[in-house]
Structure 1
Amino acid sequence: MFHRTRFSGGALLAAAALAGILGCNPTGGSNGGKTANGGSEDPIKIGLIASLNGELKPWGEDSMRGAQLAVKEFNDAGGLNGRKVELIVEDTASRPEQGKTATEKLLNEDQVLAVLGEVASGITQPAAEVCQAAGVPIIAIGATRVDITEIGEYVFRACFTDNFQGAAMAKFAYEDLGLRRVAMLTDKKQPYSTGLSDIFRKAFESFGGTIVAEEFYEGGNIDFQAQLTNIKAKNPDGLFCSGYFNEVGPIARQREALGLNVKMVGGDGWDSRELIQSGGTGIIGGFFCNHYHNSEDRDEVRNFVEAFKKEYGNEPATAMGALGYDAATILLDAIKRAEKIDSKSIRDAISTTKDLKGVSGSLSIGPDRNAQKPALVLEVKKDDFEPYKQVPFFVFEG
């Protein structure tokens, strides 16, 4: 889970796309959890929760910058009939309890009408429970765990689910890599990791493959010799690592040192360039699922990367920049289409999002409040990640 005024060159296209979000809508009126306060010239307040400190900081910073960029472009293009949107940011410090506290502050003190975030499923869950109880919509940026949107009708997401990415990587491992006997390494304290491993297992076995072993660890550990030794004894031809890049890099180094010469496969939790440094030669040639890549040959990607570099001086380091931008774009589009500027009306508008152009693809919200969009398989190279194959959206019923 990782990576987002411009008014020059190709970047104008993205600003024009956001300008299309503008339109005529009345303000005020109460039909839900929160109603915009003040007059028609007062800013419309929305919130963002992000891991700006702690182990998820690379993703959190990118998600914040992506959302801020989308809001800036929206306001620079005129806002909603001249009315600006104010994005209020709170730090979750990569901790679920702080995510809950940050969300409560946004709702109770700042009186935001909607919330964006988080990048991690374990942090999003308590935040979503707060929003659902208050009747305030929340759009998860990178929380891929399947049951997040089952919390209630006010909970949405801009990313794909683990149900899709787990099945997509199982299909890729079986059909494209020809793997038949795969072992798994799972972070038992991360709901994201345990959920993704569960889906991968079900999908891989449904395609005809065998899971020969599953070993567990806890995030923060750096010694995986015992687990890898146990896995090597099972003679697998592949290794699925469902955790985050923080541990996957050391796992890759120790796998190589142990002589466990198998392909490594994983999910969007690998998405940080720190993985290449921490994994060394052991991670090169691995494959993982992601939402987009800076090098994709699409106008939406080129314009976004150009604008991000102009605003912040560098490209997005992770896909969370694009997902933060897309989540904010979904919300801004809903504010434009809402019958009233209140939480319930905005929620209703989010639920009808259809074929909205985003950096990570065409964005539609399904009846389960999940984004329906393709996934991108990336290969780890010596100096960067390289797009390998796009996997069209499909529903795995396992």
Structure 2
Amino acid sequence: MRKKLLAMAVGVVLMAGALAGCGSSAKQETNEIKIGGNFELTGSVANYGKQAVNGIQLAFKQANANGGVLGKQLTLVLADNKSEPAEATNAITKLITQDKVVAVLGPAASSNVLATLQVAQDNKIPVITPTGTNEKITFDNGQTRPYAFRSCFIDPLQGTIMANFASNSLKAKTAVIYVDNSSDYSKGLAQSFEAVFVKNGGQVLSKEAFLQKDQDFKATLTKIKAINPDVVFLPAYYEEVGKIVKQAREMGITAPFLGTDGWDDPKVVEIAGAPALNNTFFSNHYSSQDKDPNVVKFIEAYKKEYNQEPSALAALGYDAGLVLIDAIKRANSTDPAKIREALEQTKNLQVSTGTITIDAKHNPIKSAVVIELKNGQQVFKEKITP
């Protein structure tokens, strides 16, 4: 009897071990590559996050339909940073430590990206922001951040483009800079615009400031109206841009307003009204009116998937997805360190907005465009290639 019981006990132990072994093997042979998506799905710039996510999901869907990457399916694990830097830090911590992602895409807003970088560095997980344009995201204190990358151009390029556009195309001699003091994105753009505009012989008559979520801008706009500049440079996000331009036009300010890619959202027209946005211009990453076959192909695929026209944010999300897919393929590995090395070596990669080569500061070398708003519609104005 004792021998029989002992034999049964040994059998149970062996079976448990076998089951445990099966479970371990199944875990190791998982058929997915988990990529984190740290985005603004709610909050003040939720439209940016959602559009970028749409682009990424389209890129992943296409890759998965073509057999996946390294024989595995890409899975985007989303975390909502609620458009807040502190929440962005929490989101990337969860994605890395709990969800065990091998890379993170996002956030969209520069302030939120900056809040995540130390966590990425500490855990040696590469981060690619589709739309964070602040220079310090990838290069700070004279050093390139080893785990930070982006698929968009940087603020100094946007500031330079719009300062040159003001001086050369609009023949502006004077400007007022109206900056969002709660945004690293806005402040960085203001600095680069001012430096180039002054170098061109222009004069900045005044620098004014507001805070995100402000509603009434009339006091400052009254001051700007009295100064009467040739142009107003407003590097900010669509919510405040719409309100500021609307109130400015109601007060009789007719000067051109100049902006950057933060303007690129249909809601800016909804908030300001189409007529108010006439005589406004902003820099952007691509134009839907570009006849480049790659742009046309992306737009057709996006419209088929989502039944709407893609914004630049969606295109940049798509591009970020393509950059990461390409890096994983070339690394031939899901090891984050090897992915990081492959990202650094990205060269002449064809994406929706052109071709991307990652430079020594982990920024893409790529073209930019200036868009004019006419009766609520985006009209291609100029294309600038570095």
Measured after TM superposition, the shift of residue 41 of structure 1 is 5.1
CA deviations 1:200-222 (Å, max 9, x no partner) are: 11111111111111111111112
Measured after TM superposition, the shift of residue 338 of structure 1 is 0.4
2:365 partner SS: coil
Q: Which shifted more, 142-151 or 347-356?
A: 142-151
1:42-191 paired onto structure 2 within 5 Å? 42-150=31-139, 152-191=145-184
**1:300 maps to what in 2?**
294
**1:11 maps to what in 2?**
none
Equivalent pair of 2:70/2:329 in contact (CA under 8 Å): no
Equivalent pair of 2:278/2:376 in contact (CA under 8 Å): no
Cα distance in 1, alignment partners of residues 345 and 196 from structure 2: 30
Cα distance in 2, alignment partners of residues 345 and 181 from structure 1: 50
The share of aligned pairs that are identical, in percent, is: 37
1:143 partner SS: coil
**1:309 maps to what in 2?**
303
Equivalent pair of 2:38/2:106 in contact (CA under 8 Å): yes
Letter in 2 for 1:325: Y
Cα distance in 2, alignment partners of residues 128 and 361 from structure 1: 27
Equivalent pair of 2:277/2:376 in contact (CA under 8 Å): no
**1:284 maps to what in 2?**
278
1:233 partner SS: helix
Q: Which of residues 347, 370, 387 in structure 1 aligns to 2:380? A: 387
The size of the alignment, in residue pairs, is 356
2:369 partner SS: strand
CA deviations 1:64-118 (Å, max 9, x no partner) are: 1100110111111011342222211111111111111110111001111100011
Unpaired runs of 5+ residues, structure 1, are 1-36, 394-398
Flag the structure with more relative contact order, 1 or 2, with Cα contacts below 8 A and sequence separation at least 6.
Answer: 1
- Computing the radius of gyration from Cα coordinates, the structure with the larger value is 2
* 1:229 equivalent in alignment to 2:222: yes
Equivalent pair of 2:176/2:207 in contact (CA under 8 Å): yes
**Aligned pair in 2 of structure 1 residues 220, 81: CA closer, same or farther (>3 Å)?**
closer
Letter in 1 for 2:39: A
**Aligned pair in 2 of structure 1 residues 81, 214: CA closer, same or farther (>3 Å)?**
closer
More helix by share: 2
Cα distance in 1, alignment partners of residues 165 and 335 from structure 2: 43
CA deviations 1:220-242 (Å, max 9, x no partner) are: 11211111111222231111001
Q: Which shifted more, 124-133 or 153-162?
A: 124-133
Letter in 1 for 2:268: L
1:113 partner SS: coil
Equivalent pair of 1:276/1:382 in contact (CA under 8 Å): no
Cα distance in 1, alignment partners of residues 246 and 98 from structure 2: 47
Q: Which shifted more, 326-335 or 231-240?
A: 231-240
Letter in 1 for 2:164: K
TM-score in terms of structure 1 length: 0.87
Letter in 2 for 1:327: A
Cα distance in 2, alignment partners of residues 346 and 378 from structure 1: 35
Measured after TM superposition, the shift of residue 158 of structure 1 is 0.5
**2:200 maps to what in 1?**
207
**Aligned pair in 2 of structure 1 residues 178, 337: CA closer, same or farther (>3 Å)?**
same
Equivalent pair of 1:273/1:384 in contact (CA under 8 Å): no
Equivalent pair of 1:120/1:192 in contact (CA under 8 Å): yes
**1:341 maps to what in 2?**
334
**2:188 maps to what in 1?**
195
Cα distance in 2, alignment partners of residues 223 and 41 from structure 1: 53
Cα distance in 2, alignment partners of residues 68 and 166 from structure 1: 30
1:226-375 paired onto structure 2 within 5 Å? 226-280=219-273, 281-316=275-310, 318-375=311-368
TM-score in terms of structure 2 length: 0.89
Letter in 2 for 1:53: T
Q: CA RMSD in A?
A: 1.4
Cα distance in 1, alignment partners of residues 271 and 369 from structure 2: 23
Equivalent pair of 1:276/1:284 in contact (CA under 8 Å): no
Cα distance in 2, alignment partners of residues 269 and 220 from structure 1: 15
2:358 partner SS: coil
Measured after TM superposition, the shift of residue 277 of structure 1 is 2.3
Letter in 2 for 1:378: I
1:333 partner SS: helix
